[in-house]
Amino acid sequence: FDDLQDLINNTMSAGRTSGGLIEASSAAGNVKVNLGTGFIKITDSPNGLTRSFNWPNTIIVAGALPGNIIDKETNYIYIDYSAGVPVPKATTDRTTIELNRMFTLGRVYRDGVTLHIVNSGVNLYNHMRNNHERLIGVRGFERASGGVIAEKLVRYLTSTDGVFYLGANKIATTQQDTSPTGPPDILTRWYHDAGGNWVSNTGIEGASAAGQISNEHYDTPTGLADIGVARYGVFWLF
């Protein structure tokens, strides 16, 4: 890059930086797009000249013509700079919204004079943090590969190397082997005591060795209970 403008042109997308709230207008069925600011490319190129700009309060009227707020349709509200002037517009065909000289602000479903409005679209501000929060909220702690659990010998456990993600953070785990022929790695059992509290045990549990899954007891809210004849225990591994 030769200068800051080149950096902006080659790395920044078109999008909103402030304002642009979509709301119902005073006239039934019409939509008001409030004034706002953003960045946009002046040519339909991902590396085109990128400029900051603002747009005024704009009313988009209800009707049956293209560009109106169409009844019984999802209307996508967007900024259009294709003619060299930023203008809030509406379309029912999202595929017509370009990636460079246009960007969405939200969407409106019109049911007669009732408007169902979602303010969404392309927001440039604090993008990395917002994306991280989305990953945490939607995906949580997520397995990418590995971490496969298997039995070894009799009721001992192994797991393979694993790759997991927490938000945008990559977390690697190493293989585990709780059998006597392994390191052996520690198997920690968690269960409730008589008072309903979580307690742990890493040692021998009944006739089960330290690294084995028990075949004698299962957990209840008030402590361990015996696994009866023709019954089985369910154990969650984490």
Domain shared by 8 and 114, yes or no? yes
| pLDDT, tens digit (0-9, with 9 covering 90-100), for 28-81 | 999 999 999 999 999 999 999 999 999 999 999 999 999 999 999 999 999 999
Interatomic CA distance for residues 176 and 159, integer angstroms: 5
Domain shared by 109 and 22, yes or no? yes
Structural domain range at position 188? 146-226
Domain shared by 23 and 90, yes or no? yes
H-only helix segments in 43-168? 127-138
Domain shared by 154 and 212, yes or no? yes
State residue 13's pLDDT score. 96
Q: Where are the beta strands (DSSP E) in 26-71?
A: 31-33, 36-41, 50-55, 58-60
Across the range 19-32, mean pLDDT stands at 97
State residue 2's pLDDT score. 80
This prediction has a pTM of 0.81
- Whether residue 100 is contained in a domain is answered as yes
- Among 75, 93, 125, the domain-final residue is 125
Domain shared by 115 and 9, yes or no? yes
Is residue 135 scored above 80 in pLDDT? yes
Domain shared by 168 and 114, yes or no? no
| pLDDT, tens digit (0-9, with 9 covering 90-100), for 101-125 | 999 999 999 999 999 999 999 999 9
Percentage, residues of the chain above pLDDT 70: 100
Tell which wins on pLDDT, 219 or 205.
Answer: 219
Distances from the Cα of 113 to the Cα of 84, 105, 110, 214, angstroms: 33, 21, 7, 65
| pLDDT, tens digit (0-9, with 9 covering 90-100), for 174-206 | 999 999 999 889 999 999 999 999 999 999 888
- Whether residue 32 is contained in a domain is answered as yes
Q: Where are the beta strands (DSSP E) in 62-111?
A: 74-80, 87-91, 102-111
Domain shared by 184 and 220, yes or no? yes
State residue 1's pLDDT score. 65
Total domains in the fold of the chain: 2
State the pLDDT confidence band at 207, using cuts at 50, 70 and 90. Answer: confident
**Closest C-alpha among 12, 23, 43, 10 to residue 88:** 23
State residue 206's pLDDT score. 82
Domain shared by 31 and 115, yes or no? yes
